Structure 1
Amino acid sequence: MITRVTHQSTQRMSLANMQANLAKMSDLQSQASSGKLINKASDDPAKAAEAMALRKEQRATEQYARNAQDGVSWLNTVDSAIQSSVDFMQRARDLTVQGANTGAIGAAGRDALAVEIEGIRDALLGQANTTYIGRSVFAGTANGSAFTTATDPVTGDVSYTAATVHGTVERRVGENTTVRVDADGAAVFGDGAASVFSLLTNIAADLRNPGVNVSTRLTEIDSRIQSMLSVGSSVGARTNQLTAAQDTLSNQSMTLASDLSGVEDIDLAQTIIELQMQEVGYKAALGAAARVLQPSLMDYLQ
């Protein structure tokens, strides 16, 4: 059986083939100009879904990295305040030892020591109320200062009260990992009559009383220094945890970027070769169609 090929069917087939060639060339041009294999989800639904999942992980990793950096800044602030407080307490201890040597220091000297210890107390209060970006690092999630003072209107005595901590400040550095980035002010500085501020106030009062031997206060000072160092060790451990998390997140970010590139980035050299091949094929198709489809006057009259 002989199949009859009409001029019109040949024309339609040639135009359809050239249109398909042109569409493929357009896709390759779009890929070459954007550098991406997927410019819309319909280009490759499976890879588009994979790319979206990878981008979601990227955004989460970037947020965890920002959280870790913020946490390190918090803990560095806490650590600096604790270290300064320990230095102040060491100085207060040295002054107390000097004040205990009653044979080598007179009343005027003891009074001078008391004044310096009161200055240390006030400096410690400043450290206890240290803030980071406007928030106290020793008050947890509570608003305001970590320690407040109140003066008795009758006796003139000053009391020091730690803020009530309703919750700790934490930073999420992984899907199931959070790290505490603040410190308990009461654990570092004590509270009320048991606070370091009250202790130094009492030592200053003892120094002004010739009949009191302040050497008995050294044990209390050592106890408060030990509490500060204990919390400082915890802060250091948490800082190391966040630093390790930062390294992990950095590696994870690079891995995700590589995976995403493998899914949606083009092979530029291969794409250019394919584009050139499509251009050659399209020109050849145009030439062949021009030779085969010779329009006559009747074609135009139709």
Structure 2
Amino acid sequence: MPYRVPTSRIPNTMIERINETRHRLSVLQEQISTGKRINRPSDDPIGAELVINLRTSRAEIAHFQKIAVTATQKLTAADNAFNNYQSNLDRVKSLLSAGLSDLTGQTSRDALANELEALKNGVISFANTRNGNEFLFGGTRQTVPPFDPVTGVPSAQPATAQFVQIEPGTNAMAVGVTAESFLTEGGVTITEDFDLAIAALRGTGDPVADQAALENAMTRMSVYQDLAAERRSTIGVNMNSVDKARERLSTVDLSVLESISNAEDADFAEAALALTDTQTTLEAILAITARGQRSLIDYLG
């Protein structure tokens, strides 16, 4: 009758070799299936730790990229808002020039005053421009508008520009400007200068004083034009800085991603070749073991 040799009669070293080879075969099959060389920390503890650190770096980069995108949006919105404002200042100076002419009668001066009133309200609206849930020119003061929408009086609550860090290890940069930084000069606001010019056009009863007020308003509007140009230049410089930072972040992110791939991805061709070799090795071991068992059976009769 046939005699079956139990596994216990196979040498322990051979059993260990079979188990090791089967495990190796399983690992290679998983690598080919997942495309990953490291599927769990035990596959390569050092490599797994490296991948974890690299993924942490990518998460940090993604955080700064998100901040940079928001910064670009805010700066772009501010830059676009200045377009209309600067055009309005040009119009204001044109109206003041007409008001300074001796050929302009009172009816025309009243019409000029009415248009200045509308432009003043436009400036207040510009100062209080919203960007989503924020006041675009509110800076760190976001609970109240920069200028009272009814009286045109600036907020008594102080504010500074919002600063954010765009890249790791760098200084924070401003992502906008405050309304008072370009609508106030020498302790006087643009709305006050508007009011004086409007009153002069409508006539205070003192033609000489009215003429002087209009001339002063013309000078003041030039000051506000310069302030607007300076602030817009600052916005432009910061937009350029953010753009460059975003490019650097993107480059670093690609480099980190490549490092992750190099650390954890499997070489398909190499894994496939190793799989074939391992399968061949396992088959050879099993064949040798089987021959050994048959020899033992023959010996036992």
Give the structure-2-normalised TM-score.
Answer: 0.88
2:112 matched to which residue of 1?
Answer: 113
1:141 equivalent in structure 2: 140
C-alpha contact 1:135 1:144 (8 A) present in aligned 2: no
Q: 1:173 aligns with which of 162, 166, 169?
A: 166
Give 1:21-36 correspondences, 5 Å limit. 21-36=21-36
Distance 1:8 1:235 in 2: 80
Structure 1 pair 174–159 and aligned structure 2 pair: CA distance change class (3 A): closer
Equivalence for 1:188: 182
Q: Which deviations, in whole Å up to 9, do the C-alpha atoms of 1:236-281 show, x marking residues without a partner?
A: 1111110110111111111111111111111111011101111122
- Cα deviation for residue 78 of structure 1 reads 1.5
Amino acid at match of 1:20: E
CA spacing shift, 1:53–1:276, aligned 2, 3 Å: same
1:114–1:204 Cα contact (<8 Å) kept: yes
Distance 1:95-1:20 versus aligned 2 partners, 3 A rule: same
Aligned residue for 1:220? Answer: 220
Q: What is the distance in 2 between the residues matched to 1:165 and 1:193?
A: 14
Q: For 1:57-72, list aligned pairs within 5 A.
A: 57-72=57-72
1:122 maps to 2:115: no
CA contact (8 A) 2:65 2:249 kept: yes
Structure 1 residue matching 2:140: 3-state secondary structure: coil
TM-score by length of 1: 0.87
Query: 3-state DSSP class of the match of 2:154?
Result: strand
Offset at residue 65 of structure 1 (A):
0.9
The answer to whether the 8 A contact 2:125-2:149 is kept is: no
Q: Which one-letter code corresponds to 2:200 in the other structure?
A: D
Classify 1:19/1:185 alpha carbon distance in 2 versus 1 (closer, same or farther; 3 Å). same
3-state SS in 1 of match to 2:166: strand
* 1:161 aligned counterpart, secondary structure: coil
CA distance in 2: counterparts of 1:194 and 1:8, whole angstroms: 99
1:61-103 residue CA offsets vs partner (Å, 9 max, x unmatched): 1111111110011111122222321111111011111111122
8 Å contact from structure 2 (residues 74, 131) kept in 1: yes
Moved more, 118-127 or 179-188: 179-188
Count of matched residue positions in the alignment of Structure 1 and Structure 2: 285
Q: Pairwise CA RMSD of aligned residues?
A: 2.3
Structure 1 unaligned residues grouped into runs of 5+: 1-6, 151-157
Distance 2:200 2:249 in 1: 54
User: Is the partner of 1:37 in helix, strand or coil?
Assistant: coil
Name the amino acid aligned to 2:153. Y
| In 1: Cα distance, 2:227 partner to 2:159 partner | 21
Shift of 1:220: 0.8
Structure-2 separation of matches of 1:45 and 1:51: 10
The 8 Å contact of residues 161 and 192 in structure 1, kept in 2 or not, is answered as no
Deviation for aligned residue 1:162: 3.1
Percent identity among equivalent residues?
Answer: 22
Displacement, 1:9? 5.4
**Shift in Å at residue 205 of structure 1?**
1.3
Is the 8 Å Cα contact of residues 144 and 155 (structure 2) preserved in structure 1? no
